[in-house]
């Protein structure tokens, strides 16, 4: 037994394994349940009592040394960054993970918001499930206006004087802004809207809009025109021209629709602008005095302008997307086209 102890002690002292696996093997071989040192302890029970003192001490020293050595080797291996698996090859190419990127609608939304932030607009959001009052009534929609028709609006609760519905436009948030915010108000309201429409290349039942609202003393149509022109140039390039066509919305008077010069043919006429040289981007106008008064704003003292644009539409024009459905189908080939778009 004496020889065995000395032999093992020498072995422990010279132990040089480096990987965690080798160290664990050595530990099991020496100190494991059936390990050599453990076996010696079993044998120790059977030796003559007069030898116990001497061998007991020796065995304890051996066990201590072995345990300390294993700990030391483990610490060294960890410090050297050894892994448990010796076959690990750091030079092999790694797993290629698909990195996600922003959705084009998010990119366009972010760009629109950041342009108006630069102009000093705040950002406000409102509920997607709205009531009739904020979507229609406060915006001067007459009671029988076709937009209230079940064809266009998803109602959540009908047959109520102020039914709940999925908002059909973000103009509802301008009402909430007028109710809550201190004058002057300069705010944009991005968000998701819902309409009971058949899905096609040009229409969808879910899409996104950005509403804009500016109310102060002496706000004029010239201010509106300038704000839209500056926006268009930031969004579509510094040479962009705009034109305004008279239009009708219940909540603005006068109202207009705005076109930008086609950024593909620069006004010459192409198949994107259908030969006209112009592309429609938004609706706007001077806030109707009835709308100001409905939200408790003195229309004799204050005036304002509002505008509303579809984010998908802006993104389609900017990146020449020809079918609205691409935005909703999550086809990776389409989404990857936008992975290098820079946010502003």
- Give the interface with ligand DAH as residue ranges (CB under 6 A): 169, 171, 211, 249, 252, 283-285, 306-308
Record the tokens describing residue 101, joined without a space.
Answer: 């990127």
- Residue closer to ligand DAH, measured from CB, 37 or 306: 306
- Residue closer to ligand DAH, measured from CB, 26 or 173: 173
The answer to whether the CB of 195 falls within 8 A of the CB of 168 is: yes
Q: What is the DSSP letter of 169?
A: S
- Residue closer to ligand DAH, measured from CB, 153 or 252: 252
Instruction: Report which of 323, 203, 192, 343 is spatially closest to residue 334, judged by C-alpha positions.
Output: 323
Q: Which residue is nearest to ligand DAH (CB)?
A: 308
In whole angstroms, how close is the CB of 96 to ligand DAH at the nearest point? Answer: 43
Helices (H) and strands (E) in the chain, counts: 12, 10
Beta-carbon contacts of 122 under 8 Å, excluding residues fewer than 6 positions away, are: 181, 186, 187, 188
Report helix, strand or coil for 59.
helix
In whole angstroms, how close is the CB of 292 to ligand DAH at the nearest point? Answer: 13
Record the tokens describing residue 172, joined without a space.
Answer: 């509802």
Counting Cβ atoms within 10 Å, is residue 307 exposed (0-12), middle (13-18) or buried (19+)? buried
In whole angstroms, how close is the CB of 285 to ligand DAH at the nearest point? Answer: 4
In whole angstroms, how close is the CB of 301 to ligand DAH at the nearest point? Answer: 21
In whole angstroms, how close is the CB of 213 to ligand DAH at the nearest point? Answer: 7
- Residue closer to ligand DAH, measured from CB, 90 or 198: 198
Q: What is the DSSP letter of 84?
A: S
* DSSP result, 92-159: S--PPPPPP---HHHHHHHHHHHHHHHTT-EE----SEEEHHHHTGGGT--TT-GGGSTTT--EEE-S
- Residue closer to ligand DAH, measured from CB, 252 or 261: 252
As a whole number of angstroms, the distance between CA 146 and CA 323 comes to 27
In whole angstroms, how close is the CB of 170 to ligand DAH at the nearest point? Answer: 7
- Residue closer to ligand DAH, measured from CB, 234 or 288: 288
In whole angstroms, how close is the CB of 113 to ligand DAH at the nearest point? Answer: 16
As a whole number of angstroms, the distance between CA 185 and CA 301 comes to 14
């Amino acid at each position: 037994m004496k020889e065995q102890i000395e032999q093992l002690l020498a072995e422990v002292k010279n132990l040089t394994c480096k990987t965690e696996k080798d160290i664990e093997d050595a530990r099991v071989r020496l100190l494991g349940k059936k390990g050599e040192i453990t076996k010696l302890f079993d044998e120790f029970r059977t030796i003559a009592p007069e030898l116990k003192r001497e061998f007991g001490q020796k065995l304890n020293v051996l066990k201590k040394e072995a345990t300390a050595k294993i700990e030391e080797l483990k610490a060294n291996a960890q410090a050297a960054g050894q892994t448990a698996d010796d076959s690990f090859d750091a030079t092999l190419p790694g797993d290629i993970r698909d990195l996600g990127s922003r959705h084009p609608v998010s990119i366009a939304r972010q760009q629109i918001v950041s342009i108006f932030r630069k102009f000093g607009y705040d950002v406000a959001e409102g509920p997607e499930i709205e009531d009739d009052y904020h979507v229609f009534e406060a915006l001067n929609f007459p009671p029988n206006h076709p937009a209230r028709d079940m064809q266009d609006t998803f109602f959540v609760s009908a047959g109520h004087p102020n039914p709940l519905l999925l908002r059909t436009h973000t103009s509802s948030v301008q009402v909430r802004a007028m109710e809550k915010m201190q004058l002057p108000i300069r705010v944009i309201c991005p968000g998701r809207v819902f309409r009971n429409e058949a899905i096609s290349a040009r229409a969808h039942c879910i899409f996104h809009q950005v509403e804009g609202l500016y109310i102060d003393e002496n706000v004029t149509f010239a201010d509106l025109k300038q704000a839209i022109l500056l926006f268009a140039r930031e969004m579509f390039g510094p040479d962009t021209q705009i034109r305004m066509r008279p239009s009708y919305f219940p909540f603005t008077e006068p109202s207009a629709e705005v076109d930008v010069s086609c950024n593909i043919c620069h006004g010459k006429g192409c198949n994107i602008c259908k030969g006209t040289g112009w592309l429609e981007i938004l609706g706007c106008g001077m806030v109707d005095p009835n709308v100001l008064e409905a939200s408790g704003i003195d229309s004799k003292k204050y005036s304002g302008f509002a505008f509303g644009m579809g984010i998908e539409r802006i993104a389609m024009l900017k990146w020449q997307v020809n079918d609205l459905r691409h935005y909703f189908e999550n086809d990776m080939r389409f989404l990857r086209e936008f992975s290098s778009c820079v946010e502003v």
